[in-house]
Amino acid sequence: MVNRCFLTAAACALPALLLSPSVGNAAGLDHRVSRDTGGIYSLQDAVPVSLTLLAVGCAWWQGTEDRLGKTCWETGEAALGSAVATEGLQFIFSRRGPSATGDPNQWFRGGKGSFPSTHVSVTTAAVTPFIYQYIHEEPLVAVLAVLPMYEMVARVKAREHWQTDVIAGAALGFAIGAYEAHRNNPFVFSLLPDGAYVGFHHSF
């Protein structure tokens, strides 16, 4: 429990630091890389969408009455929350991405920007509740962390985001996913009749 509380606190503090436009520039992290969207990098759009659809499907199938089902509901809610948060922040910060400029200091230019990365945020938020829930019993679940790492590399290679865009996206997604898992009571449960939902699998 102590480890989980520390993890959640750290997850909530990190985005606050990274969501400062001056941090990445001062650290000298942001730079263009050679563009590559082929091969393994061609899956970057499919990863967050697939994870979200799997979470939603699992949630409806399992219902709310077992551990797996509850984790799937947390995952779906975290992914949706991350998508909404990052899309909003992109309009607020309106940072020009590396596909539009070689200067990473182009902030507040109007319109939708690149900071933080939605792909990375959603992917991180989707895997965090599962890692958080099962890591002590099934250490191999930590392999899921490879997916956000892949997205971080792929989005930079596609020149859709700067390095600090994907770092901030991962931090924000992790914070939302960890918060959902730590609450252990998805918000959507309060919208369900009697706070519960019997999954489809009970019908078969």
Per-residue confidence (pLDDT) for residue 25, from 0 to 100: 53
Domain boundaries in the chain?
2-203
Phi–psi pair at 63, nearest 5 degrees: 80, -160
How long, in residues, is the chain? 204
Per-residue confidence (pLDDT) for residue 148, from 0 to 100: 95
Per-residue confidence (pLDDT) for residue 154, from 0 to 100: 95
CA angle centred on 171, ends 45 and 56, rounded to 5°? 50
Per-residue confidence (pLDDT) for residue 92, from 0 to 100: 96
79 contacts 122 by C-beta, under 8 angstroms: yes
Calpha distance 13→11 (Å, rounded):
6
State the alpha helices, DSSP H only, in 32-183.
46-62, 67-93, 118-134, 146-157, 163-183
CA angle centred on 117, ends 111 and 120, rounded to 5°? 155
Per-residue confidence (pLDDT) for residue 11, from 0 to 100: 45
Per-residue confidence (pLDDT) for residue 65, from 0 to 100: 72
Q: What is the pLDDT along the chain (204 residues), one digit of tens a residue?
A: 445 444 444 444 444 444 444 444 545 789 999 999 999 999 999 999 999 999 988 888 877 777 888 898 889 989 999 999 999 999 999 999 999 999 999 999 999 999 999 999 999 999 999 999 999 998 999 999 999 999 999 999 999 999 999 999 999 999 999 998 887 666 665 555 555 544 455 555
Q: Which amino acid is at 62?
A: Q
- What burial letters (b/e) apply to 59-80, b meaning 16+ CB within 10 Å? bbebbbeeebbbbbbbbbbbbb
